[in-house]
């Protein structure tokens, strides 16, 4: 049986309220943040269905099995909402951190696409997020996970320069070729950095197909899933990366998802050759005293000249920057950076950063077929055009507060 690396992402966006043209210059309350408003209601609902039961289950499994471990990453906006609306979620996360068998990864604080549009902002958000992880959980992250697993050679180079010792991303066939995704790779950069590639098929069997009665693999049992994992030999690494909300929200409790996961872990641990590992355990042996060991350069190279992600069929950036609605919004938003930061107004800067949350652009996606269905499922708006309309009004007000005029015509990146 191969090594198993489990990683779950915890993120909840801040959705725009009903801000309208009549609010321009009269109000800067772009988000419903009060405990009795929309974002709080959604967070508490998901906490009851997913966060709380799954976190308790993870604590139970860690208490039951000394060999069980995993990795989590929590966006900064998730941590803020958890602290405000369900502090018991934070308490459970702290209990998991205290076990010493849950590794917290670094990411952008605002779950943003800043790695594509602003190196300065990207570095700032990583610093803010790493500080938050240390303050909440007492860990200093050494492994980086970018928003939606977005990755390209340039991003890998920057993350290596920032001192991280590993990074997670997607295994995309057009760059991976016929090489197995179950090996550890390194970036096509100098300095180089280890890369863990998501096993999309096995991850999505749980995250997307688990309750699909039309799927040939239905019903997915722990024994069946273990057989699929056991196809890989002991020197391989199977990276199962998925949204935390897979458990209880995307796959409801009545599908048996919690029982399935618990039984799978139990069965894995019962096999003496099983090894659960965290990303840090996989990557840190390639470093000594903070410096890369020569063995790092012996890893196969994953050359990704154009950005990839874990979203949609093509695993590219089209979930966020495919159409003129998205492109215009992002161009205007990042075009504001210098003016916004120069004000020194932390309320204005925070609003600007909250508008960087990648979900805003995801809701504007106009794809159809299977990809379009997924986007529509997650969107709180009746259409991509309504998402763009609301965002544009808020952005207009942000320009006014910054004292600048909207621009147009520059290339996106």
Q: Please check whether residue 308 lies inside any domain of the structure.
A: no
What mean pLDDT is predicted for residues 377-398? 91
CATH number of the domain to which 68 belongs: 3.20.110.20
Q: What is the average pLDDT across 46-71?
A: 97
pLDDT at residue 372 greater than cutoff 80: no
Same domain, 128 and 189: yes
Same domain, yes or no: 206 and 161: yes
Orientation angle between helical segments 87-98 and 52-64, nearest 10 degrees: 20
Distance CA 29, CA 75 (A): 22
Q: Domain of residue 149: give its range.
A: 3-302
pLDDT at 407: 66
In this predicted structure, which of 28-42, 211-225, 246-260, 312-326 has the lowest mean pLDDT? Answer: 28-42
Question: Does the structure show a pLDDT above 80 at 89?
Answer: yes
Residues 298 and 331 in one domain: no
Residues 298 and 390 in one domain: no
Domain termination residue (choose one: 267, 302, 337): 302
* Cβ count near 7 (within 10 Å): 24
Residues 343 and 268 in one domain: no
What pLDDT score does 312 carry? Answer: 87
Question: 312 or 193: which carries more pLDDT confidence?
Answer: 193
411, part of any domain: no
Domain presence at residue 309? no
Residue 98 has pLDDT above 60, yes or no: yes
Indicate if the pLDDT at residue 154 is higher than 90: yes
Q: Which range is most confident: 14-23, 283-292, 373-382?
A: 283-292
Residues 254 and 380 in one domain: no
375: its two tokens: 């986007």
Locus of tokens 């159409």:
323
Catalytic residue, from 103, 107, 121, 148: name it: 148
CA dihedral 361, 367, 370, 373 (to 10 degrees): 60
131 and 170, same domain (yes or no): yes
Assess whether pLDDT exceeds 50 at residue 413: no
Residue-averaged pLDDT of the chain: 94
Residues 182 and 326 in one domain: no
The HSE-up count of residue 259 (CA atoms within 13 Å, CB side) is 7
Considering the domain boundaries, does residue 313 fall inside one? no
How many domains does the chain divide into?
2
Q: Are strands 291-292 and 287-288 parallel, antiparallel or unpaired?
A: antiparallel
Residue with tokens 């039951």: 64
Residue 52: its pLDDT value, please? 98
Q: Beta-strand (E) ranges in 166-302?
A: 167-170, 185-187, 194-198, 237-243, 275-277, 287-288, 291-292, 301-302
SS (H, E, C) 272-304: CCCEEECHHHHHHHHEECCEECHHHHHCCEECC
Active site residue 148: yes
Q: Report residue 408's pLDDT band, with 50, 70 and 90 as the boundaries.
A: low
Q: What is the pLDDT of residue 375?
A: 55
Segment 327-341 shows an average pLDDT of: 96
pLDDT tens, residue by residue, 272-285: 666 899 999 999 99
- Adjacent-strand bridge partners of 194: 186
Residues 82 and 229 in one domain: yes
310 occurs within a structural domain: no
pLDDT reported for residue 20? 79
Amino acid 214: pLDDT: 97
- Whether 265 and 376 map to the same domain: the answer is no
Examine the fold and report which residue of 269, 302, 335 is the final residue of a domain before the chain moves on: 302
Q: Of 278, 302, 326, which residue constitutes the final position of a domain?
A: 302
Beta strands in 318-404 (DSSP E): none
Is it the case that residue 287 has pLDDT exceeding 50? yes
Q: pLDDT class for 378, splitting at 50, 70, 90?
A: confident
Quick one: pLDDT at residue 376?
A: 63
Going by pLDDT thresholds of 50, 70 and 90, the confidence category of residue 19 is confident
Quote the pLDDT of residue 373.
60
pLDDT of the residue at 163: 97
The residue-averaged pLDDT of 69-89 equals: 98
Note whether 88 and 55 are within 8 A (CB): no
Confirm whether 283 is domain-assigned: yes
Looking at per-residue pLDDT, the higher value among 324 and 36 belongs to: 324
Q: Provide the total of helices (H) and of strands (E) in the chain, helices listed first.
A: 19, 12
Using alpha carbons, list the distances in angstroms from residue 297 to 130, 187, 192. 27, 10, 8
- Give the model confidence (pLDDT) of 239-277 as tens digits: 999 999 999 999 999 999 999 999 999 999 998 666 899
pLDDT at 396: 93
Summarize the confidence of residues 233-243 as an average pLDDT: 95
Do 182 and 327 share a domain, yes or no? no
Q: How confident is the model at residue 411 (pLDDT cuts 50, 70, 90)?
A: very low
Q: How far apart are CA 202 and CA 150, in angstroms?
A: 20
Look at residue 409 and tell me whether its pLDDT is greater than 50. Answer: no
Confirm whether 307 is domain-assigned. Answer: no
Out of 29-43, 130-144, 185-199, 214-228, least confident range: 29-43
Same domain, 224 and 173: yes
Whether 412 is in a domain gets the answer no
């Amino acid at each position: 049986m191969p090594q198993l690396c489990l990683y779950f992402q915890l993120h909840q966006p801040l959705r725009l309220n009903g801000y309208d043209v009549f609010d321009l210059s009269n109000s800067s309350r772009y988000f419903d943040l009060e405990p009795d408003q929309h974002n709080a209601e959604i967070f508490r609902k998901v906490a009851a269905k997913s966060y709380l039961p799954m976190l308790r289950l993870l604590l139970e499994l860690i208490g039951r099995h000394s060999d069980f471990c995993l990795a989590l990453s929590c966006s900064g906006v998730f941590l803020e909402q958890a602290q405000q609306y369900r502090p018991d979620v934070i308490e459970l996360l702290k209990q998991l951190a205290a076990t010493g068998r849950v590794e917290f990864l670094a990411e952008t604080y605002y779950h943003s696409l800043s790695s594509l549009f602003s190196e300065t902002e990207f570095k700032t958000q990583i610093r803010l997020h790493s500080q938050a992880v240390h303050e909440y959980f007492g860990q200093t992250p050494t492994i980086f996970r970018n928003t939606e697993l977005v990755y390209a050679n340039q991003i890998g180079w920057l993350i290596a320069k920032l001192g991280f010792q590993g990074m997670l991303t997607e295994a995309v066939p057009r760059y991976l070729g016929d090489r197995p995704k179950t090996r550890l790779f390194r970036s096509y950069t100098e300095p180089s950095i280890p890369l863990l590639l998501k096993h999309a098929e096995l991850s999505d069997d749980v995250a997307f197909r688990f309750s699909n009665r039309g799927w040939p693999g239905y019903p997915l049992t722990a024994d069946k899933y273990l057989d699929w994992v056991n196809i890989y030999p002991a020197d391989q690494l199977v990276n199962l990366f998925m949204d935390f909300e897979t458990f209880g929200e995307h796959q409801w409790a009545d599908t048996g998802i919690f029982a399935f996961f618990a039984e799978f872990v139990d069965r894995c641990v019962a096999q003496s050759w099983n090894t659960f590992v965290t990303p840090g355990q996989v990557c840190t042996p390639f470093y000594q005293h903070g410096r890369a060991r020569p063995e790092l350069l012996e890893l196969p190279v994953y050359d990704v000249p154009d950005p990839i992600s874990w979203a949609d069929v093509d695993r590219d950036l089209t979930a966020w920057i495919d159409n003129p609605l998205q492109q215009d919004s992002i161009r205007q938003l990042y075009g504001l950076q210098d003016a916004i930061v120069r004000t020194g107004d932390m309320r204005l800067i925070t609003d600007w950063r909250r508008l960087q949350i990648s979900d805003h652009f995801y809701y504007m996606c106009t794809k159809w077929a299977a990809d379009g269905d997924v986007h529509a499922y997650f969107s709180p708006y009746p259409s991509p055009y309504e998402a763009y309309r609301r965002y544009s009004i808020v952005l207009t007000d942000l320009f006014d507060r910054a004292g600048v005029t909207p621009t147009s015509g520059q290339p996106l990146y």
